Amino acid sequence: MSLHPQIIINPELVPNVLSNSEHEIFALWNILKIFTSNNNSFIDYSAALQIAQKYLSLSPTYSYQKINKGVDLYWTKPFISKGVKKISLFSINNIIKRLQPRITRCCPVCIPFEVFNERNSKFYKEMFISIFASRNIDERPISLETICKVTNQSESTVRNAIKNCEFIHKKLNFEIIGRGYTRESLVEIIKSSDNPYGMRLIQSSGKYSLVKQIGNSYVLDTFHRIPLRHRPEALKKIDKLLLDVLAEKKYTAKESVFYKDKNPIISYTL
């Protein structure tokens, strides 16, 4: 093991991992890779069990179950090599081919290995949800509904994950619907709206703005990202396939300002 090992998470994989309830074995696969050497995919079965106990806080029985659950998904069936029981970890490209992610490209997230020490299932689920929520390096808004739908998680699960995660912070975003020097003109817009909920008036520099709250932004504070060029080849191949089916972007950016339906967006950090 290197002196300061790092684990690289590709946010594009997270929705499939969560939808398949694979967050624990996905975490374990990433951890086991740290304990292989010289690009060797083999690891002793007994060592894998001990690592599962330590880094997933599992009993010996549950560690055995997790190793079995990952067979044919993240590693091979146990086999005997030179009298020792081993498993062989699958490559990241093989896992990508199985999961077939459908998320646009994101910079990989680099996490210090010590973050994974003595954690549990809840921690890994909440961390992966938060990494996905904060996947856009430009901090564009993303709705809670979108996160829930794409990751196949309930609203309460996503809310709690983002609230509990120590690695991100939230920015509130508001679409500016109108501006004026008096409250009255903007109040009329609220009254005539079919959906006035979430609208509010704010005053700044002698002017009023009518704003409506939209999806939050989630900012990754603790971990750094690595350039897109370091993403696995299998993800780069999927990029080309996604170009033909991508929906039109909901938000556009110009000179560091986001726009929704040509209306500028203002943000406040919590």
d(CA 254, CA 66): 47
pLDDT value of position 42:
94
d(CA 131, CA 162): 9
Q: Are 113 and 34 in contact (CB under 8 A)?
A: yes
Across 100-107, average pLDDT: 92
- For the stretch 121-172, pLDDT in tens is 999 999 999 999 999 999 999 999 999 999 999 999 999 999 999 999 999 9
Q: Are 108 and 231 in contact (CB under 8 A)?
A: yes
Beta bridge partners of 49: none
Q: Go through the chain and tell me how many residues it has.
A: 270
Please report the sign of the dihedral spanned by the C-alpha atoms of residue 174, residue 176, residue 178, residue 181. Answer: positive
Output the pTM of the full model. Answer: 0.90
Please report the sign of the dihedral spanned by the C-alpha atoms of residue 130, residue 133, residue 135, residue 137. Answer: negative
**Can you tell me which residue has the tokens 């998904």?**
73
Tokens for 60, please give them: 């010996």
- For the stretch 14-30, pLDDT in tens is 999 999 999 999 999 99
